[in-house]
Structure 1
């Protein structure tokens, strides 16, 4: 999964940037709703964002190690 996303980010960097913006937006909205409404159901958005960040980090590590061009 990490390998496929790393390859995807190499081929389509703009879509990766859009994914990052969506995850950041979900995180911000979830934190705001959690603080404002005090309902734990909004913690699902935070969990989604954290899992996405882990996936982005692992894909970035793979990309740096195996997909980097020798310059």
Structure 2
């Protein structure tokens, strides 16, 4: 199925979760994820399944001091 990730089209298998997407795109699991404008909670990553035409925004968290 087709989704958009950070404004780029991406083809993924059906039943793909947020955790799977982060893993296969080499993002850390600590990244913030928004789907269709709604922030997904970290505890939902393993169970939240992506749908056809979802718009996903992934923000990599940075730390410093």
Instruction: Give the shorter-chain TM-score range.
Output: under 0.3
Structure richer in strand, relative to its length: 2
TM (normalized to structure 2)? 0.28
Structure richer in helix, relative to its length: 1
TM (normalized to structure 1)? 0.26
